[in-house]
Amino acid sequence: MLRGRSAPGHGTRTAAPPPAGRAARGPGGVRNQVERRTIGAGALSVGSVGLGCMPMNWGYTTSQQNGESSLRAVHAALDRGCTVLDTADMYGPFTNELLVGRVLKERRADAFVSTKCGLLVGEQHIVANGRPGYVKRACDASLRRLQTEVIDLYQLHRADPEVPVEETWGAMAELVSAGKVRALGLCAVGARAPRRPEWRGQRARRRERGGTGAHGAAEAPGMHDATLRQLERVQQVFPVSAVEAELSVWSREALAALLPWCEARGVGFLAAMPLGNGFLSGTLTPGQGFEPDDLRARHPRFTAEMMAANQPIVAGLRRVAARHGATPAQVALAWVLARGRHVVALPGTKREAWAVENAGAAELRLTERDLAEIAELPAARGSWED
């Protein structure tokens, strides 16, 4: 048995003891449960499950943000070998890096730090800035906030349409040469990116059939075309070690082209939002509502109607979880990890108990029956194109 929940649909989670037979490590004899994976040409060693730090003070439910609680979550993740701490200068802005820096000051050797540059946050807008001079200043500022001498993975959050991406990437490569950064990564264009018009009709037909394409891959031609073009361009300047993009049971578009591109080139894939902004954990109730500053308040999949319509997906995860003594969240994460040895899941949380539960997903091995059932789950309802 892995980790259970006190009752279906509730937000509290309980943790069962980890299995015996592993060496105790970390404070208080906590056992490392997370397997190691290597990403990029430099064979960077990281835990298969990491920690998305953004929810700790940006994008989700401000009233529930608590610095001390978030620090406990980071420590709990590191104790279990979840080495990747994923942050960005725009989260807060800046406060997320400051929080992570408080942990790094004590435990730098335990962490693999991933942060990002390229987006500036204003009062009512976010703009891209890929000018080489800005990128170098942004890196220095991130190093100060993170209280570290080197960033393990420095990612371009978004390419600046007014600056050739090769110029931005070249400036980032110079940071590697200067010893300030170990490796470079690129974040994929997000959910609101333009899609080919014909894909909208394909989406509707796919929903009518109730399927998502062969092997559970969403039929999403063109979704990551812009990202793939950028990757081909920057790869000529300096090697890409990792690509970060959304991937989850209810957002499978990366399986079509982006994930195979990474696998073929030995590039790591950092799966963002692997729990579907929390929906796949089964802890959210249709119609519960979200605070105005919560990004889900404006997301089409989090209307009361769409949350109710997508409950069959969570129900399917619960069925699989029941066979393993696991939780829906752990099944969702295990599905992501099963996409390939180059994949690292980055579930975001600000709560210690959920960080512990997420780490437990690394122990879960889904069977062929499990994977087949998940592949047959209905496509998610609600999108930016509908």
* pLDDT given for residue 13 in this prediction: 39
> How far are the Cα atoms of 70, 204, 271, 383 from residue 55, in angstroms, in the given order?
9, 32, 16, 22
What is the number of other CB atoms lying within 10 angstroms of the CB of residue 364?
22
Per residue in 10-50, pLDDT tens? 233 333 333 322 223 444 445 557 999 999 988 899 999 99
> How far are the Cα atoms of 57, 204, 322, 348 from residue 279, in angstroms, in the given order?
19, 22, 18, 12
Q: Where are the alpha helices (DSSP H) in the chain?
A: 67-79, 95-107, 132-146, 165-177, 197-209, 225-235, 258-265, 304-309, 311-324, 328-337, 352-360, 368-375
The pTM of this model reads 0.86
Judged by DSSP in three states, 368 sits in: helix
* pLDDT given for residue 342 in this prediction: 96
- The rounded distance, in Å, linking the Cα atoms of 181 and 306 is 42
β-strand partners of 39: 44
- The rounded distance, in Å, linking the Cα atoms of 43 and 241 is 9
Kindly list the catalytic residues. 91
Q: What percent of the chain is predicted at pLDDT more than 90? A: 73
* pLDDT given for residue 59 in this prediction: 64
Spans of the chain below 70 pLDDT:
1-32, 58-59, 63, 190-221, 384-386
Domains and CATH numbers, the chain: 38-191+203-375 (3.20.20.100)
Q: Which two tokens stand for residue 67?
A: 């610095």
DSSP state letters, 207-262: HHHT--SGGG----TTTTHHHHHHHHHHHTTS---EEEEE-BTTB-GGGTTHHHHH
β-strand partners of 232: none
Peptide bond into 93 cis (omega under 30): yes
- The rounded distance, in Å, linking the Cα atoms of 374 and 232 is 32
Q: 319 and 366 in contact (C-beta within 8 Å)?
A: no
Q: 128 and 158 in contact (C-beta within 8 Å)?
A: yes
- The rounded distance, in Å, linking the Cα atoms of 4 and 15 is 7
* pLDDT given for residue 254 in this prediction: 96
Per residue in 219-274, pLDDT tens? 445 789 999 999 999 999 999 999 999 999 999 999 999 999 999 999 999 999 99
